[in-house]
Amino acid sequence: MIVVSDSTTLIILSDLDRLSYLQNLFSIIYIPPKVYEEISFKKDFKLPKFIKISKPKNLAQIQELKMLLDEGESEAIALSEEKQLPLIIDEKKGRKIAKNLSLDVLGLLGIIYLNIKKEYISIKEAKDFLKRAKDNNYRISEKLINDMFNSLEKGKKWDIYHQKML
């Protein structure tokens, strides 16, 4: 599977040394230049081979989106729409705008869920990772975390794009 990504999920997974969660699921992740700037501010950061930089072409759309969002989110949404690929984005406002553009939106919890379902990680590993993320001051909705784990425990499908049990 191929996706486009904003920076937040990449930063969290990189900081906690879990980019493998992405590599388990995606053959290529495209990021726009501004997202690259946001994730590579640390001098020791090295872009993994499965993450490719791609510049969005619709500059008018980016300018319009920048009235509501930061540059990285704006470029990521524009690139996702151009390539007609799902978008990894966690910020609430950006997710809403992307969904209004009919993009499939995936967040950190959707990535964790897919890694569990495909048996790359256990539920315990996922809970430990999410605790570490929260301990490192990353904001993740406790309700969404509980919804995800409840769906797994009840054997129900969790809609990774809309984050609800089916």
> What confidence tens digit (pLDDT) does each residue in 57-94 have?
999 999 999 999 999 999 999 999 999 999 999 998 99
* Residue 101 and residue 112 in one domain: no
Sorted by sequence, the CB contacts under 8 Å of residue 148 that are 6+ apart come out as 109, 112, 113, 158, 163
CB 6 within 8 A of CB 89: yes
d(CA 52, CA 129): 25
97 pLDDT above the threshold of 70: yes
Reported pTM:
0.90
In sequence order, what are the beta bridge partners of 158?
165
* Residue 15 and residue 92 in one domain: yes
Q: Which residue has the higher pLDDT, 153 or 104?
A: 104
* Residue 128 and residue 99 in one domain: no
159 pLDDT above the threshold of 90: no
* Residue 117 and residue 97 in one domain: no
Q: What is the pLDDT of residue 166?
A: 45
CA-based nearest residue to 106, from 92, 116, 95: 95
54 pLDDT above the threshold of 60: yes
Q: At what angle do helices 108-117 and 123-135 cross, to 10 degrees?
A: 160
d(CA 104, CA 100): 10
Give the model confidence (pLDDT) of 107-132 as tens digits. Answer: 999 999 999 999 999 999 999 999 99
- 144 confidence band (pLDDT: 50, 70, 90): confident
162 pLDDT above the threshold of 90: no
* Residue 25 and residue 80 in one domain: yes
Joined together, the tokens standing for residue 53 give 């930089």
* Average predicted confidence (pLDDT) for the chain: 91
Instruction: State how many domains the chain has.
Output: 2
